[in-house]
């Protein structure tokens, strides 16, 4: 009984997500779903990323949080538009929340959409929001034993960012062990070590975003001509 309810929620969610994905495709937008535990640096990363992408592209941000508009307030100086979704008691975003948020947003003027999910390493991995790609942030101060404990999220990741790398000298964190454990679950996922504070790894992250946007536009063009 309970399982059926969950299955039908997931199915309805996927239908909405697929429509959203078509909207992104038509607008030549790359949509990224950022997933992580609380405090892994999603908002800080976007504060650095959005201005750095400005020469070639504008960004829209959709932020999910239980309460407050803190993250949206921080990002509004940089982004073309920011919408904050307050999820109340829900520990993840649903596709219909993102779809509703898009209604009021200037998607045609945007090149990137960043969806900052609620801080949670479990549930966001199960809910397709219509994004092109899922990026998982795993912050080094969380400790190096988290991969096997949250396997679902690493299995669905298209990129893993090991964040707050500036704190690594003050921690015991075995990056090679973490890389090996991630690639055991997801053999092809790229892993970048990054610090928004000292800037390490951000060039590679920006390059990845630009490449993925180019790919997404190419696929959208093929989709239109087919």
Q: Which residues bind its own copies (CB under 8 A)?
A: 2, 5, 9, 37-41, 65-68, 70-71, 89-91, 118-123, 126, 139, 141-143, 145-146, 148-152, 164, 166-167, 170-171
Closer to its own copies at the Cβ: 13 or 132?
A: 13
Both structure tokens of 44? 């800080």
Closer to its own copies at the Cβ: 55 or 169?
A: 169
Closer to its own copies at the Cβ: 15 or 171?
A: 171
Is there a contact between 36 and 118 (Cβ–Cβ < 8 Å)?
Answer: no
Nearest distance from residue 164's CB to its own copies, in Å?
6
Nearest distance from residue 53's CB to its own copies, in Å?
23
Is there a contact between 67 and 48 (Cβ–Cβ < 8 Å)?
Answer: no
**Which residues touch 180 (CB under 8 Å, ≥6 apart)?**
none
Closer to its own copies at the Cβ: 4 or 225?
A: 4
Nearest distance from residue 130's CB to its own copies, in Å?
21
- Beta strand ranges found along 18-154 (DSSP E): 30-36, 59-65, 81-86, 112-116, 133-139
Dihedral Cα 96, 64, 70, 68, nearest 10 deg: 70
Nearest distance from residue 104's CB to its own copies, in Å?
23
Closer to its own copies at the Cβ: 24 or 94?
A: 94
Nearest distance from residue 10's CB to its own copies, in Å?
11
Surface-to-core class of residue 30, CB atoms within 10 Å of its CB (0-12 exposed, 13-18 middle, 19+ buried) = buried
């Amino acid at each position: 009984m309970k399982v059926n309810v969950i299955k039908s929620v997931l199915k309805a969610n996927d239908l909405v997500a697929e429509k959203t994905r078509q909207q992104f495709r038509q607008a030549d937008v790359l949509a990224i779903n950022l997933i992580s535990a609380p405090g892994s640096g999603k908002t800080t990363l976007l504060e650095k990323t959005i201005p750095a992408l400005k020469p070639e592209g504008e960004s829209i941000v959709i932020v999910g949080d239980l309460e407050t508009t803190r993250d949206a307030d921080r990002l509004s100086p940089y982004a073309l538009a920011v919408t904050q979704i307050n999820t109340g008691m829900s520990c993840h975003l649903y596709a219909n929340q993102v779809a509703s948020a898009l209604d009021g947003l200037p998607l045609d003027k945007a090149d990137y959409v960043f969806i900052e999910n609620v801080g949670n390493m479990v549930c966001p991995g199960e809910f397709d929001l219509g994004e092109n790609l899922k990026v998982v942030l795993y912050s080094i101060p969380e400790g190096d034993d988290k991969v096997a404990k949250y396997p679902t999220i690493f299995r669905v990741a298209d990129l893993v960012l090991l964040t707050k790398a500036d704190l690594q000298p003050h921690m015991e964190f075995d990056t090679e062990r973490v890389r090996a454990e991630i690639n055991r679950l997801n053999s092809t996922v790229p892993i970048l070590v990054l610090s928004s504070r000292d800037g390490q790894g951000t060039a590679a992250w920006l390059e990845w975003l630009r490449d993925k946007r180019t790919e997404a536009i190419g696929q959208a063009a093929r989709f239109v001509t087919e």
